[in-house]
Structure 1
Amino acid sequence: MNDPIRFVRQPVALAALVCCAWHAHAQIELAPAAADPGALSPVVVTGERSGGVWRGAASIDVVDGESLRDGQAQINLSEGLAGVPGLVIRNRQNYAQDLQISVRGYGARATFGVRGVRLFVDGIPASAPDGSGQVANFPLGGADRIEVVRGPMAALYGASSGGALLLYTEEGQHPAQWRSGVVAGSDGLLRVSTQATGKTGAPKEPGWSYALDVSRFATDGARPQSEADRTNANLKLSRPHEGGRTVLVLNQHSSFALDPQGLSRAELNANPMQTTASAINFNTRKSVAQTQLGLAFEQALGGGHKLELMGYGGQRQVVQYQSIATGAQVPPGSSGGVIDLDRDYWGWNARWRHEGDWQGGRLSVSAGLASDHQSDQRKGYENFIGSTLGVQGKLRRDEVNRASTLDPYVQAEWRSKDLTLMGGVRQTRTEYESSDRFVGTGNADDSGRKTFQATLPVVGMRWQWTPAVQAFASVGKGYEIPTLNEVAYRSGGVSGFNAQLNAARSTSAELGLRGRAERFRWNATAFDIRTNDEIVVQNNTGGRTTFQNAGRTQRQGLELSGDWRYGPISLVSALTWMQAEYLDAFMTCTTTGCPNVNPQVQVPAGQRIPGLPMQQVFVQAAWDTGWAGSRVVFETRHVGRVMVNDLNSDSAVGHTLFNLGLHFKQDRGDWTLREFVRLDNLTDRRHLGSVIVNDGNNRFFEPGLGRKLLVGLEAQRRF
């Protein structure tokens, strides 16, 4: 069944970002600050070394690794992040397309992978320089924590940083630990994993710290043509030296997934668990392989100064068979129905940091220069030979696409007990170049190039109103560039580099309150985002998606979260309300060849931006029973109505799901055993897991799962 998959190497680098950390014990609870992650951190200045989020001015939630793993399959990032407000992360139940992720509305237009949200694993980006990324290689089994960055401060990561997800893996410690686990569930789901952490040498004279995570996952899928498997491996080595340390990170990922695609409204109503015929006829599928390597070095220079250097390099390969009709591949300039992508990418980050006492507070200053590069060798083939479908046919596309960035940045934070002042600026410059190597009769040279650049200032402050309540605010500029995929076609679906597509520019502001008491911690944040030149779909037919700039949009919202504990009872909740709409009318296309053929269709001002629910609610209640180390967990997840396209011609209705889990834990000397049983969608509610935004075939709908059972077992040993 599997196509050949070549393992390749792909690390990626970092840039810069913010401060503080809203540390979560169960889901969103404040906790003590984490250890400084060192040179592999993409953060420019962090407040976590001096009081955590309680003394910072940004919206950052931190979910710890134990919460990500406890009672979870540890397959999808959507399992453990439902309690983070402002984050929409939905499982498509389609492992060929990855999760659907948006932060405060950024990234909602992505029909596959992640757009507009920066991703990092141990400081190595899982996002390419053009802003595209995936979370399938996130090593959840070995995670120490995930930081979810929202708001204006996220722009300090550079272009296409409407938000950021940063996963940090565990650090090796004494004593060494080993754990292994297995999870089985409905639809043939099976996941096995092993983690090992520790240090060489003696406690007083440590050598290398190591942390290894290896996992294998497979499922038959809930629908026909949805079988998938995935293998991940992540190794982190670090060694201290006088005044600093060296860190090496190696990550490998390989996966194969059949693609069930979406359903039309008629197909959904007839049978939501079917698969559209074209997916089966063309045997739609996708294979991915990547390897990434990062090396970081940090050195104290004395007087509070520190130098941090990091480099990375790697490769990624994707082979994908689509269901594009054979007739649509006949015209000259067609790119075929098979994607064959080989990507090399690399980069570096050099940063100076200084921290010291100043004017009765603590001042942190950093400045640096980051550069990222990607080179894509992209080929396209027909997906048929004669009357045989779903096989690689004639070559129809051959080009090299390159993206490179060079970003200087600087940031400062001054903090005292009652006040924090933050400011930063990043100048981002991204150069695109496309070289067409498939030129012939009726197929002109489609090469092109364009440069995107912007200066992104951000300021923020935090004021301690009372010992138990704080206010914070920030405002800044954002900048989202189109991905290389999004500039691949000109107006009307004509092949060639779309130099007319501009970046979207935004102004983002937030104002929040947070408080803490003996048993209760809470956070309330209001935000407003105004965007010019929003990037939207112009036409999506014949396997080609053309993008355009649509004028102004606005996203306004409110995020509420709380964590209450009383003895053995705990309650965690998160609510997001967001109004996201187009402020300007624009023209879109619903026919092949548009806009060369009239009529066009107008999207009126006031239409909702598709892919975004207006409201999202998560509530988790847990009871530590005191019997045999058991814990009962009950979850409620509500997602509001979601529009499927810019015309708002159809929608996925809102739904509420209930999940129940029973967890056990036993400590027996050096051994710890954990077991869980989980039942998702208790009422077997028929619902839609996600939508494919602006799908050209009107197959917008990706059905969610019915009632599903998960059973897990994990053993841990300390040495």
Structure 2
Amino acid sequence: MATAAAENPAEAFELPAVEVIGTTPLPGLGSALRDVPANVQVFGNRAIANQRPPTLTQFLDQNANSVNAAAGQGNAFQQSLNFRGFAASPLLGTPQGVSVFQDGVRINEAFGDVVNWDLIPPSAISSVQLIPGSVSAFGLNTLGGALAIYTKSGAQYPGASVEVSGGSFRRKDAVFEYGGKGDRIDYYATGHFADDAGWAEHNPSRVKQFFGKVGYQDEITDFDVSATLADNSLQGTQTLPLSLLSNPKQAYTYPDINENRLTFIAAKGSRFLSDTLLLGGNAYYRRYRTSNFSSNVNDDYGEIDPQTGMPQTNEATNDRATIDQSSWGIGTQLTASGKLYGYAHQLVVGTSGDFGRTRFMQESQTANFTPDRGTFATGAFATETDADLRNDYVGVFATDTIALSEQWTLTLAGRYNHARVSITDRTGEDEALNGTHTFSRFNPAVGANYNPSQTLTVYAGYNEGMRAPTPIELTCADPTAPCKLPNQFLADPPLSKVVAKTIEGGARGKFGAATSWSLAVYRTDSYDDIAFIASGSGATNAGYFQNVGRTRRQGIELNAATRVADWSLNLRYNHIDATFRSTFTAASPNNSGADANGAITVQPGDRIPGIPSDSAKLRGAYEPSDLISVGINVVYASSQYALGDDNNADIHGRLPAYTVVHLDARYQATRELQLFMLVNNLFDRRYQSLALLGANAFTGPGGSFGPANGVDPVAGQFRAPGAPRGVWVGLRYAFDSRHADAR
């Protein structure tokens, strides 16, 4: 690789360089891993392709350290990812703390900062890098880390292939890839089509994803334009109260449907201005449209309707929310390498601008329940929210990596972020909703690496990050008027920006050519952290956002990997102590520890819900030849508190720990034909990955709607069941033998 890069420096950006870490979002020279003061995790295409996950979240959940995924919606394409106690989730109502980038473009949506994992085709991924900490260079809202996704190109993956598979839950998958390269031009395209009846009742999925890229390269220039398209329909089943978990396949209420559509066009390029100057930049346009239909229990059943003066008799509500979002942005970056005062420097300066325009509408209609808890409408849809939102984020950053000696490297960095969020009511009936909120801050970072030998690195670093409250948080912050999510917008108390400060130290090294290891110790303190306080039933997901003072996430990470003969093993372990560090009062009426007003008091030292304190991943693979491989993943997560149990006092206790085993195998029948098998949850374990406190309304005779039979809802714990054992088999045919090697 070094020879190819020397002959054509621009081509280095198209080559898989797993030992070079992208320490800034845009294309650049990167930094050697030995000079990065953080416990970065890197996963290449071969590891992803062998396990063939339907989403990137599933792969990270089974392989990455300090990562846990939870399927709160009961759909594999809508999992929430948790990294070092910070979230990257598709669910509105989840305070986000991890930034996700695709080829240098931040793909957290402008509305709610959510990450729609179903819009990222796994077949297009060349590699991923998981960078921990409040990484200032990666910009706004990077509190716990950044996930950088790099896509394939025709230069890397020439040839053509098709792949088909099927099996449990009537899942049918098809993937195609086609790529090539000429003297200056390369091209690549992939499509993924999936149809899945779902492992539970009422949760089918239909996924259509496409990614294409065209690139140009010469001796000093690298430029490409890519398109990501998606049209998906996903149905979920919600969490279940403990009384219904004997049949985990049933839905608490249904239907719950998300329809996501994406058009994402991005251009990025770089050019060597001289041997020591590299100019890079990108620009993008992203159109995201989603429609959400959710069935909910009417928490106001039996209450007097202020408009009619009569008791409300509708058991349920159907809520429909639509988001029509356009976002665009531009970034620039200049990398300068050279010596100053006798020290070698790699200085990077850059700017970014990200702008979003969103129209959000929510409608609600009265409904009742069928015997199996489906809803049928009893009224017409009425508009509850119709608002325009505007997000303007700009930033300026610089980072300088200084080689103080052969052994010592110093990294200095800083970024100034400015965020402006505007909300405008379109109905003319809620002028108090109108307003503009601005947030800004300079975030510094410093790190040092000591490399006493080629096989040992010791490092330490400190960095800060900032997160601006999202529009959905700013309009849902009143404890006296909790919102349903996706929520109606209200004029609420203002929220403060979140500031995270991370310190990390660690070491990594090798024993011989076959064994590597790493150790990291970290602490992130977040100030004015924002939490979603659950205060409704398990079905309505009602609650509000609140600044809760200081929180702390501190822990230790251990990684070890080795290869012995035909066996390879990779063990990753994480312990995290995630706690509140301030005293605050929150509404949590379904918590058994609440007072007569439904409030709880959270004390310093109480654990943050939804974060298991211990997790471990074991990946083992047996490859007796190039023709056969068998892999196994063992995933362990310890117990965790339920959302809403912020005081750790609810009588239902913690969500139990779980261990799940997954299997993958492949056989290369010919150079062109590969047969494979995947098994998820090999031992068919029953487990749950998420818990929250809510009120079970189906407490009447035979599990009927309780309030209609004079029986009050019962407060308790709701859980998200994990999928049972699933088995899939498939084949892949590569029309070009070079493409077979690339996988």
TM-score after normalising by structure 1: 0.86
1:210-260 CA-partner distances (Å, limit 9, x unpaired): 121110112111111111111111111110246323210111111111221
SS at 1:66 equivalent: helix
Show the counterpart of 2:271.
299
What letter matches 1:64 in structure 2? G
**Change in CA separation of 1:336 and 1:458 when aligned onto 2, cut-off 3 Å:** farther
**Change in CA separation of 1:152 and 1:161 when aligned onto 2, cut-off 3 Å:** closer
Which stretch has the larger CA shift, 256-265 or 674-683? 674-683
Q: 2:146 aligns with which of 146, 164, 169?
A: 164
User: What is the distance in 1 between the residues matched to 2:630 and 2:297?
Assistant: 50
Question: How far is 1:687 from its partner?
Answer: 0.5
Q: 1:511 aligns with which of 494, 505, 513?
A: 505
Q: 1:468 aligns with which of 455, 479, 482?
A: 455
What letter matches 1:427 in structure 2? Y
User: What is the distance in 2 between the residues matched to 1:455 and 1:642?
Assistant: 35
Aligned: 1:274 with 2:255: no
Question: How far is 1:574 from its partner?
Answer: 0.4
Aligned: 1:619 with 2:618: yes
User: What is the distance in 1 between the residues matched to 2:107 and 2:611?
Assistant: 23
Q: 2:566 aligns with which of 553, 565, 568?
A: 568
SS at 1:581 equivalent: strand
User: What is the distance in 2 between the residues matched to 1:660 and 1:625?
Assistant: 17
1:463-518 CA-partner distances (Å, limit 9, x unpaired): 01333221011101122222222222241226524352112222110000101122
Show the counterpart of 1:687.
687
- Please, what is the CA RMSD of the aligned residues? 3.1
Show the counterpart of 1:486.
473
1:670-703 CA-partner distances (Å, limit 9, x unpaired): x3x2222232323221111334588998664110
Question: How far is 1:576 from its partner?
Answer: 0.6
Aligned: 1:324 with 2:296: yes
Question: How far is 1:360 from its partner?
Answer: 6.1
User: What is the distance in 1 between the residues matched to 2:568 and 2:58?
Assistant: 21
User: What is the distance in 1 between the residues matched to 2:378 and 2:668?
Assistant: 48
Q: Is the 8 A contact 2:548 2:582 kept in 1?
A: yes
User: What is the distance in 2 between the residues matched to 1:400 and 1:544?
Assistant: 22
Which stretch has the larger CA shift, 187-196 or 678-687? 678-687
What letter matches 1:42 in structure 2? P
Q: Is the 8 A contact 2:26 2:280 kept in 1?
A: no
Aligned: 1:115 with 2:133: no
Q: 2:384 aligns with which of 396, 411, 427?
A: 396
Question: How far is 1:93 from its partner?
Answer: 6.5
Aligned: 1:409 with 2:397: yes
Show the counterpart of 2:25.
42
Which stretch has the larger CA shift, 631-640 or 491-500? 491-500
What letter matches 2:104 in structure 1? G
What letter matches 1:229 in structure 2? R
**Change in CA separation of 1:533 and 1:93 when aligned onto 2, cut-off 3 Å:** closer
User: What is the distance in 1 between the residues matched to 2:234 and 2:607?
Assistant: 32
SS at 1:136 equivalent: helix
Show the counterpart of 2:720.
702
SS at 1:324 equivalent: strand
SS at 1:651 equivalent: coil
**Change in CA separation of 1:224 and 1:391 when aligned onto 2, cut-off 3 Å:** farther
Q: 2:281 aligns with which of 295, 303, 309?
A: 309
Q: 2:583 aligns with which of 582, 585, 594?
A: 585
Question: How far is 1:97 from its partner?
Answer: 7.4
Gaps of 5+ in 2: 1-15, 308-316, 369-374, 483-488, 697-714, 739-743
What letter matches 1:428 in structure 2? N
1:173-202 CA-partner distances (Å, limit 9, x unpaired): 2883111112223111221100111113xx
Q: Is the 8 A contact 2:351 2:394 kept in 1?
A: yes
Equivalence map 1:47-86=2 (5 Å): 47-48=30-31, 52-80=32-60, 82-86=62-66
**Change in CA separation of 1:596 and 1:655 when aligned onto 2, cut-off 3 Å:** closer
SS at 1:302 equivalent: coil
Show the counterpart of 2:710.
none
TM-score after normalising by structure 2: 0.83
**Change in CA separation of 1:67 and 1:487 when aligned onto 2, cut-off 3 Å:** same
**Change in CA separation of 1:501 and 1:698 when aligned onto 2, cut-off 3 Å:** farther
Q: Is the 8 A contact 1:493 1:539 kept in 2?
A: no
**Change in CA separation of 1:116 and 1:196 when aligned onto 2, cut-off 3 Å:** same
Q: Is the 8 A contact 1:337 1:543 kept in 2?
A: no
User: What percent identity do the matched residue pairs reach?
Assistant: 19
Question: How far is 1:457 from its partner?
Answer: 0.4
**Change in CA separation of 1:436 and 1:83 when aligned onto 2, cut-off 3 Å:** same
Show the counterpart of 1:349.
331
User: What is the distance in 1 between the residues matched to 2:187 and 2:215?
Assistant: 7
What letter matches 1:558 in structure 2? I
**Change in CA separation of 1:257 and 1:331 when aligned onto 2, cut-off 3 Å:** farther
Q: Is the 8 A contact 1:59 1:150 kept in 2?
A: yes
Show the counterpart of 2:420.
431
Q: Which runs of 4+ in 1 moved over 6 A?
A: 329-332, 693-697
Question: How far is 1:452 from its partner?
Answer: 1.4
What letter matches 1:506 in structure 2? A
Question: How far is 1:450 from its partner?
Answer: 1.0
Q: Is the 8 A contact 2:352 2:394 kept in 1?
A: yes
Q: Is the 8 A contact 2:326 2:356 kept in 1?
A: yes
Question: How far is 1:644 from its partner?
Answer: 1.1
Question: How far is 1:389 from its partner?
Answer: 2.5
Q: Is the 8 A contact 1:93 1:704 kept in 2?
A: no
User: What is the distance in 2 between the residues matched to 1:444 and 1:555?
Assistant: 39
User: What is the distance in 2 between the residues matched to 1:526 and 1:46?
Assistant: 28
Q: 1:496 aligns with which of 474, 484, 490?
A: 490
Equivalence map 1:246-285=2 (5 Å): 246-268=223-245, 270-276=246-252, 279-280=253-254, 283-285=255-257
Q: Is the 8 A contact 1:526 1:557 kept in 2?
A: yes
Aligned residues: 666
User: What is the distance in 2 between the residues matched to 1:207 and 1:515?
Assistant: 39
Gaps of 5+ in 1: 1-24, 26-30, 201-205
Q: Is the 8 A contact 2:684 2:724 kept in 1?
A: yes
Q: 2:258 aligns with which of 256, 271, 286?
A: 286
**Change in CA separation of 1:81 and 1:362 when aligned onto 2, cut-off 3 Å:** farther
**Change in CA separation of 1:608 and 1:45 when aligned onto 2, cut-off 3 Å:** farther
What letter matches 2:453 in structure 1? T
Q: Is the 8 A contact 2:139 2:417 kept in 1?
A: no
SS at 2:58 equivalent: helix
Question: How far is 1:324 from its partner?
Answer: 3.2
User: What is the distance in 2 between the residues matched to 1:71 and 1:228?
Assistant: 20
**Change in CA separation of 1:73 and 1:682 when aligned onto 2, cut-off 3 Å:** same
User: What is the distance in 2 between the residues matched to 1:175 and 1:678?
Assistant: 24
Show the counterpart of 1:558.
556
Question: How far is 1:158 from its partner?
Answer: 2.5
**Change in CA separation of 1:220 and 1:556 when aligned onto 2, cut-off 3 Å:** same
SS at 1:493 equivalent: coil
Question: How far is 1:273 from its partner?
Answer: 2.3
Which stretch has the larger CA shift, 652-661 or 319-328? 319-328
Q: Is the 8 A contact 1:536 1:548 kept in 2?
A: yes
Equivalence map 1:422-461=2 (5 Å): 422-440=411-429, 445-461=432-448
Which stretch has the larger CA shift, 510-519 or 104-113? 104-113
Q: Is the 8 A contact 1:55 1:417 kept in 2?
A: no
Show the counterpart of 1:418.
407
User: What is the distance in 2 between the residues matched to 1:114 and 1:489?
Assistant: 12
User: What is the distance in 2 between the residues matched to 1:243 and 1:221?
Assistant: 49
**Change in CA separation of 1:327 and 1:599 when aligned onto 2, cut-off 3 Å:** closer
Which stretch has the larger CA shift, 318-327 or 457-466? 318-327
1:92-141 CA-partner distances (Å, limit 9, x unpaired): 57339722112211128985578211112222222134633222222211
What letter matches 1:318 in structure 2? T
User: What is the distance in 2 between the residues matched to 1:341 and 1:596?
Assistant: 38
